[in-house]
Amino acid sequence: LKRIAIVTSGGDAPGMNAAIRAIVRTAHAHGIKILGFIRGYEGLISNQFVKLDARSVGGIIHLGGTILRTVRCPKLRTRKGVEQAAETLKKNKIDGLIVIGGDGSFRGAYALSKKTETAIIGVPATIDNDVYGTDETIGFDTAVNTAISEIDKIRDTAVSHERVFIVEVMGRKRGFLALTVGLTVGAENILVPELKFNPEEICDDIVKSIQKGKRSSIIVAAEGVKGTRKLAKQIRKTTGCDVRLTVLGHVQRGGHPTARSRMLACLFGEKAVNTLLTEEKNKVIAMQGNKITTLSLKETVKHQKPLDIELLKLAERLAV
């Protein structure tokens, strides 16, 4: 193993920089040369990279975002794009490519793995936590904590004004963030894209909670849940409550990574290089029950991570 490359891809996640640092420093210790392709798969397609060494990743462990920058790259969904990326790997004699990203980035990595001899390793990093095979992704814990601290503030004003708040968190397709955030802020209702919600039931819940003496309610909804605006109107009309909708948006994607996100980045980063050193190919690094392990890239992209419905039920039981 002489030369490896790193790419950060798709939506950024706090802890990506800590992962870059861990990879570069582990590789450096083994005398491996490291390139960082810039702007995600676009840099791979257009052969734009920077050389990375132990010093070039100093002072970044605590920074959100990614020093390599990132894009969503539709070109990698085309045959030509994949071939160009494979060509870049060949031209630069890259033995191993480490892709730091989420579900979509790994699908791109899988397509690329079929066209290249270079070993590809996925390091799960996304605030969505939607990568199959790993309990957690880099950045998820940070986004959860960012959303929690914002919603705690919203609760203050919700209580004093006796209002209902619908708070939209990120997650266009999956509800892992909404579920964890909803449970940990004590939301009265949690809406996820995986399950259709019933507006009448939500209104009933609110009426009942008022009868029980609750003065306010928080509904946490994932971005991918359709009709939150309409829901706000319906709650207003049916219950007579004052309702506000707050969209938290991209604040959830930035900020200093939490200890947990940094820890995962350090462990995943080292494991990615060690996996390449054992000449394994096309793997994804994962945490399963507090153990760092690997599974095949193919397995990851062919499966959907299941949402823990038991957690949703627990949130319901605790929000009485």
The residues annotated as belonging to the active site are 128
Name the minimum Å distance from CB 115 to ligand F6P.
25
Residues 16-55 that bind ligand F6P (CB under 6 A): none
Question: Which of residues 96 and 133 has its CB atom nearest to ligand F6P in the complex?
Answer: 133
User: Running DSSP on this structure, what letter comes out for residue 125?
Assistant: B
Distance of CA 52 to the CA centre of its chain: 25
Name residue 70's amino acid: T
Name the minimum Å distance from CB 60 to ligand F6P.
21
Q: Concatenated DSSP letters for 153-185? A: HHHHHHHHHTEEEEEEES-SS--HHHHHHHHHH
User: Running DSSP on this structure, what letter comes out for residue 74?
Assistant: G
- Residue 105 as a binder of ligand F6P (CB under 6 A): the answer is no
Q: Could you give the C-alpha distances from 34 to 62, 109, 128, 213, 273, in angstroms and in order?
A: 21, 18, 28, 61, 11
Contact 25/115 with Cβ under 8 angstroms? no
Pattern 190-219, binding to ligand F6P, x per CB under 6 A? ------------------------------
Name the minimum Å distance from CB 157 to ligand F6P.
25
Alpha helix (H) residue ranges in the chain:
16-29, 41-45, 79-91, 103-113, 140-161, 176-185, 199-211, 228-239, 259-277, 297-302, 309-318
Contact 85/112 with Cβ under 8 angstroms? yes
Which of these segments, 55-63, 145-153, 168-176, 210-218, binds ligand F6P (CB under 6 A)?
168-176
**Size, binding site for ligand F6P by CB under 6 A:** 11
Q: CA-CA distance, 245 to 292, in Å (whole number)?
A: 39
Question: Which of residues 105 and 209 has its CB atom nearest to ligand F6P in the complex?
Answer: 105
- Residue 172 as a binder of ligand F6P (CB under 6 A): the answer is yes
Question: Which of residues 116 and 126 has its CB atom nearest to ligand F6P in the complex?
Answer: 126
Name the minimum Å distance from CB 12 to ligand F6P.
8
Name the minimum Å distance from CB 49 to ligand F6P.
23
Residues 57-96 that bind ligand F6P (CB under 6 A): 72
**Does an H or E element contain 289, and which?**
none
Name residue 97's amino acid: L
Question: Which of residues 26 and 126 has its CB atom nearest to ligand F6P in the complex?
Answer: 126
- Residue 223 as a binder of ligand F6P (CB under 6 A): the answer is yes
Residues that bind ligand F6P (CB under 6 A): 11, 72, 102, 126-128, 170-172, 223, 253
